[in-house]
């Protein structure tokens, strides 16, 4: 990813988030965060990854609402960007946080299931200050 595409992606992340929160008035949009924006080198499109807090139904409703508001969001981006062509926005579900939490949970369970005799001893730096 080039420096330019990274800059455009970060700018889009901030501006799209601002437009959704201030300008888009759709009750289907739940509590969400934009986790990242991927922009190809031609800058003609942008994949906006959204993490939604809630049930699967709330997640789908939020994504449906954002996808239907994509044209509206692009129109509001136009005066904010110094680009000839505003990228097409494609909203995608980002479940990476859920996946990371699941992995962490499994690792904690494995650590609890491992008998203390089989666990490696803590390093001296880890035990300092715990007395």
Determine the length of the chain.
131
pTM: 0.75
List the beta bridge partners of residue 46: 89
Query: What percentage of the chain reaches a pLDDT higher than 70?
Result: 87
Strand, coil or helix: 71: helix
Residue pair 12/39 in contact by the 8 Å Cβ criterion: yes
In angstroms, the CA 28 to CA 22 distance is 15
- 44 has a pLDDT exceeding 90: yes
Cβ within 8 Å of residue 37, ≥6 positions away: 9, 10, 12, 13, 16, 46, 47, 48, 49
Strand, coil or helix: 78: helix
pLDDT per residue as tens digits for the range 92-103? 999 877 767 778
72 by Cβ neighbours in 10 Å (0-12 / 13-18 / 19+) ranks as middle
Q: What is the mean pLDDT of the chain?
A: 88
pLDDT per residue as tens digits for the range 63-72? 999 999 999 9
Residue pair 122/116 in contact by the 8 Å Cβ criterion: no
Domains of the chain and CATH, by start: 3-114 (3.30.300.20)
Helix, strand, coil in percent for the chain, rounding step 5: 55, 15, 30
């Amino acid at each position: 990813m080039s420096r330019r595409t990274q800059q455009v992606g970060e700018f889009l992340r901030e501006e799209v988030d601002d437009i959704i929160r201030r300008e888009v008035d759709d009750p289907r949009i739940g509590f969400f965060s934009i986790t990242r924006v991927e922009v190809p080198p031609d800058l003609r499109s942008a994949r906006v990854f959204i993490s939604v807090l809630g049930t699967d139904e709330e997640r789908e409703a939020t994504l449906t609402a954002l996808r239907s508001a994509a044209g509206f969001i692009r129109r509001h981006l136009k005066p904010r960007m110094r680009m000839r062509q505003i990228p097409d926005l494609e909203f995608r579900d980002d479940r990476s946080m859920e996946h990371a939490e699941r992995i962490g949970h499994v690792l904690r369970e494995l650590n609890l299931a491992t008998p203390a005799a089989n666990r490696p001893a803590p390093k001296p730096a880890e035990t300092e200050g715990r007395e």
